[in-house]
Structure 1
C-alpha cells in the first residue's frame, strides 16, 4: 500500500549513491511533517550556511557549489515542501509556507544566524526570511533571484508564457501533464538546462543522471504538481505587485550579495541592474556568459565570488 513514508524511504534508498557523489548526507527533520535536507558538512567551528533551491528544483541544485563552500562553512540544503525528497503530505507549498519552513529549519536544524543563500524562487524566499526575521540571517546571497520584472527588460517570451499559463487555476495541471507527455526524464532534464543555461554541455553527466533518477522516483508522487503550481502562482502574485515587492527588499538589514547571470532567460538581468539602482547598499555582480543557474553552470566562479565577498 502506498504511504508517504514508504515512498520517501524508497526514494532515499535509491538516491543515496547519487548524494554520495557530492559528499552530502541525506537527513530528515520533523518540521510540521518530514522535511528532507542534505548535510554537506564543513568545519565544526565554521559558520552555518543554508541553501534554498528554486521553483522545480531540489537539493541537487547545490550539489556542485556546496562542496566548494564546505571548506569554510557548515552547509545544509533543505528540499522545500513538495520538492526533491520532501513529500507534500497535504501541506501547502506557497512562497509564504516555504518561508515559514526555512525559518523553522534555521531554528531547529542549524545554529542561527546563518548565511542564507537562495536561487530563483529560493532567492525570493531567502530575501523574505531576511526581511521578516533579521536575527536569523547574518549575510544574504541571492543567485539570480526572482525579482520583479522591470519595464524595457527582455524576458524570454516562451518561458514567460509557460509560467503565466501555469498560474491559471484550471489549466495548470493539464499544462504540466502535456509538458511531460512523450518526454523521458532525461529529455525533461535536458530541456530544463537548455532553458536555464547558456551552455548546457557544462552540466556534468553524473548530475544529469542524478536528476533523472529523482524525476523517475517522483513520477507517481501525489500532490507534487499541486505543490509546484501553488509555488508558481504565489511567486507571480508577489512579484506582480512591483511597488510592494521592491519596498519589501528595503527591509533587509543583512549585507546582501546579488549574483546574476547576464544571459538569464527567466529573470532578466535588467531586474538585477534595477536592484543595484534601488538598493545601493547591496553588492550586485553580473556574470557574463551565464544563465539562470550559474551555481551549476560555473560553480568555481560563483564559489570564488561568494568566498571573497563573505570574507
Structure 2
C-alpha cells in the first residue's frame, strides 16, 4: 500500500496530529482514518479478466459503493468510509488503470468502467448499492444507473463530470497530473515532497481543493499518490469524449447532487443542469467555500448529508 498509509507503522500518530492545520477543514481534528486496519479490508478480484483492487468492509449492512474520480483512487474516501463501516457494507474500488487495479484490456471508456463495476458487484454478490461518485466517478455512477437500471438503489453525484466535460481544461489537468505523478513516485517517509512543501502542494491540488495548505500532510499525501497511474490519460480522454445528457431523464432513482460552490474544475452550474435533466427525483446541495472534493473538504457535513439521504 503506497502513500502515507503504506508508511503508517513507521510514522507515529503524534506526527499526524502535529500536521493538522485547521479543525474546520478536511480531516481537521479527526484522525480516525489513520487507525483503521486498511490492509485487512483490501482485496483483489479478477473482473473481466483483469485484477481490481477494492476496499470491502464486509458485514451484513446495506451496500454503499464509492467511486473515485480522475487521478484518484480509493483513498479519496478516507474521511468517509470510517463513518459508515459497521453499519453498511462499504466498497471502494480502484477503477481500472488507477491505484492498485490493472489497466483494462481495451480502450478506457465510461461505458467500460460501468461494465466493470456491474461485474464487480456480481462477483461480490452486491445487488443494488447506494452509489456515490466524485467527478469521473459520478459520470460512471450515472452511466451505471442508465445501463443497468436495477443495479443502483440511490445515486449521489459529487461534482460529477458529464455535463460540461468538453470544456474542462485539458492542458492544466494534464500538467497537474504530471506534477502529482512526480511527487507520488518520489514520496517516502522522510520526503513526501508534494504534500509537505506548501508551494508544491498548492500547485498539485489547487484545481481540486479550495485550501490545499489546510490539508494535513498525511491526507495530502494520499490525495496525490493516485496520480501517475497508467489510466490517467485514457480516463481524461474518456471523460472528454462521451456524452449522455440526452439520456439523463431516464434516471428514475433518488439522486443527490453535491457540489462545492468554488469548484474551479467543473462549474457549480452543472449541478443545476444535472437536477434539471434528471428531473423531480434529483435535488442539489451546495457547499460554500468548497472546491471539487466536497467529501474531503467538508467530511462531517458530507457524511451527515449522505447518511440522511440513505435513510430517506
Shorter-chain TM band: 0.7 to 0.9
* CA distance 1:198–1:230, shift in 2 (3 Å): same
2:235 matches 1:231: yes
Match of 1:145, SS state, is: coil
With normalisation by structure 2, the TM-score equals 0.76
Matched with 1:199 is 211
Aligned pairs for 1:82-231 (under 5 A) are: 82-88=97-103, 90=105, 92-149=107-164, 160-162=169-171, 186-187=193-194, 190-211=202-223, 214=225, 224-225=229-230, 227-231=231-235
* CA distance 1:191–1:21, shift in 2 (3 Å): farther
Unaligned runs of 5+ in 1: 1-9, 167-173, 240-244
Unaligned runs of 5+ in 2: 10-32, 188-192, 195-199
CA distance in 1, matches of 2:113, 2:310: 25
Matched with 1:251 is 250
CA distance in 2, matches of 1:89, 1:132: 19
Runs (4+) of structure 1 moved beyond 4 Å? Answer: 16-20, 174-185
Q: Is the 8 A contact 2:110 2:143 kept in 1?
A: no
What value does the CA root-mean-square deviation take over the aligned residues?
Answer: 3.1
Matched with 1:264 is 263
With normalisation by structure 1, the TM-score equals 0.77
Aligned pairs for 1:20-99 (under 5 A) are: 21-24=35-38, 25-31=41-47, 32-41=49-58, 44-88=59-103, 90=105, 92-99=107-114
How far did 1:198 drift? 1.1
How far did 1:180 drift? 5.7
User: Which structure dedicates a bigger proportion of its chain to helix?
Assistant: 1
Q: What CA deviation, in whole Å up to 9, does each residue of 1:115-161 have, x standing for no partner?
A: 1110000000000001111111111111111031299xxx7xxx614
How many equivalent residue pairs? 272
Matched with 2:14 is none
How far did 1:17 drift? 4.5
